[in-house]
Chains A and B, each alone.
Chain A
């Protein structure tokens, strides 16, 4: 087995296909100003049943205070950063806040069965495809955006980019990828039975984006 690597590489090196192709740029996407990017992001999310609220002119925290109890979201999971702290310290009536402080092994069952909603931030978004860019970290671990049935994301309006290609051209992702980076475009879905769309298969059944101004 130890020879597999050398055998494969030797075969590949012995036969080098002919010269390179020049890579031509593909699609030119239209430039979009901030409002157009927000509009496009919202339209794309809504097309896949993502919920989007533009709260730039209002208080997002008040939105949570009203909506969490109204929707029956009682157990709220937050991270360890400033956002988590803020939500944890405020006393929202009828809502119990849990912080993701322990390694998953110590409370896996609770996470899978006892949490109604997770609230996180994100790195930004992509207007063209309506995608949230999420880089989970120590403060907001990977399973937050995946296991609870509802995921609420705070998105800074200024961080909505036009396309994924623009993001990779403008930001040096290639110089240091995180453990896990994600594009999330709507709630979990499947079309594996008769090509018919059904939402909420394994990941969150609802994805709610709150667009705010930092």
Chain B
């Protein structure tokens, strides 16, 4: 199956799953109204968005210097920095760190970058026990599924499905579909894991170059536990997460949590700058940061597509996407779903591998309006659509032109020719209106759910002329 057929199949499966669609509809409606309630004043919202946009844009301009400064500061602070170009390199480094520390079990806080590298699978193949500790991540780990949303990974499951999963994996616990009871069950199960794990692995929301500080945003406390209780902490993040100054953080944090879940702030904002110091009684003895490129530096080459890298992973674009709400996250088949996925994944993986994704968009513009750092997502998606059939312009997009079809190109060329030639166009119009009835009734996928479009008996030009409008005004 090629990427287009595979994507269509997943879309078909998702659209025929009523439970899944109901779960997403109710979750997305809730999350959108929570966000809206956090931004009662549009003038302030726009000021904050512009501030956040500028902070992130400037960080990308200075990215190489900031990364060097971050590395220097972290190293001074005693945090070890590792650079990886590919997911495989990152996984090997992390395994190496774990081996060196003689660590056999890992407790993980949420990290989408580790989903990019398929870190869990890699570590398990090398006999490391990996437990996800974010409740949503834990649920999908039990279900052996990837996240369906970058902020709420188990958003596709309802309480009954979670109850059954817990019962299957922990038969010693009584079955319940009460959310508070399920939460307490997870607390109970994971508590021992936190106490026993040799190493903790986490993502990073912001890395501050000025102070060498890793910032983590969370509600549960699992991120803090994963980064505090084990004797080794390994953080993994994309190279675009660096920001210049500590004073950049308050506006970014403010707009991140409000955009993501409609909270004024999360329960915990965790700023880590050092491993355990002499005299301190807890915290990891060693802290590592793995900086992963995985195609990001290549995206930065294009002045327009560069905006993709401003993303702070709040998921607001996903929550407001009318396509995502119908399909859910798994149908996309990529790590990042929804509008940011449509922009990021075809660039990261190549249009030849993920270019079809860009068709999952109605260009309604909702994502661009809610993005806290003003990424022009509809524009980027449109650009990538063009790049997927581009065979002329010299651009840097990976796999450009991969979706170009000779038949489609010929039809467009014909249209272009017709449209550019007045006489031909009028002749075409005359034929189409007079013989329109002869066009086929079956037009493949289009007529599966719709009637075939028939040209009217008279063109708009003719009707206007009849009604007395003069030509050429």
Contacts and interface: CB of A to CB of B under 8 A. Distances in A.
Interface of A: 1, 4-5, 7-9, 11-13, 15-27, 44, 48, 100-105, 108-109, 112, 128-131, 137-138, 141-143, 146-147, 163-165, 168-169, 173-174, 177-196, 198-204
Nearest to A103: B281
A21 B307 CA distance: 13
Contacts of B274: 178-180
Given A12-B297, A185-B265, A202 B220 contact: yes
Interface centre among A27, A103, A138, A163 (most CB of B within 10 A): A27
B300 to A, nearest CB: 6
A181 B272 CA distance: 7
Given A26-B251, A201-B186, 18 more contacts: A1-B89, A1-B92, A23-B54, A27-B47, A142-B283, A146-B221, A164-B250, A165-B247, A169-B247, A178-B274, A180-B271, A182-B269, A182-B271, A183-B269, A192-B152, A195-B152, A202-B221, A203-B268
Contact of A4 (B85, B157, B283): B85
Contact of B52 (A5, A17, A26, A201): A26
A181 B269 CA distance: 8
Contact of A202 (B48, B179, B194, B269): B194
B152 A191 contact: yes
A200 B184 contact: yes
B437 interface: no
Nearest to A18: B303
Given A4-B293, A8-B239, A24 B51 contact: yes
Contacts of B212: 177
A79 B298 CA distance: 50
Given A173-B246, A190-B135, A44 B264 contact: yes
Contact of B48 (A21, A26, A181, A183): A26
B187 interface: yes
Interface residues on B, range: 35 or more
Contacts of A12: 63-64, 67, 239, 297, 300
A21 to B, nearest CB: 4
B179 A8 contact: no
A198 B51 contact: no
Task: Give the 5 A-B CB pairs with smallest separation, nearest first.
Answer: A203-B221, A192-B136, A26-B51, A21-B54, A202-B221
A183 to B, nearest CB: 4
19 contacts: A1-B84, A1-B93, A8-B67, A11-B297, A21-B58, A22-B54, A27-B48, A102-B281, A141-B280, A142-B224, A165-B247, A174-B211, A180-B271, A183-B268, A192-B135, A192-B152, A194-B159, A199-B183, A202-B190
Given A146-B225, A169-B247, A190 B297 contact: no
| Most chain A CB within a 10 A radius of its CB, from B61, B239, B275 | B61
Contacts of B306: 17
Nearest to B266: A185
B135 A188 contact: no
A182 to B, nearest CB: 6
Given A143-B229, A177-B211, A191-B152, A201 B221 contact: yes
B58 A168 contact: no
Contact of B54 (A24, A103, A193): A24
A193 B239 CA distance: 31
A25 B276 CA distance: 36
B11 interface: no
Given A142-B282, A187-B267, A193 B220 contact: no
A8 to B, nearest CB: 5
B206 to A, nearest CB: 13
Interface in B54-90: 54-55, 57-58, 60-61, 63-64, 67-68, 83-85, 89
A201 B222 contact: yes
Contacts of A194: 23, 26-27, 158-159, 179
B61 A201 contact: no
B60 A17 contact: yes
A24 B50 contact: yes
A5 B247 contact: no
B380 to A, nearest CB: 15
Contacts of B364: none
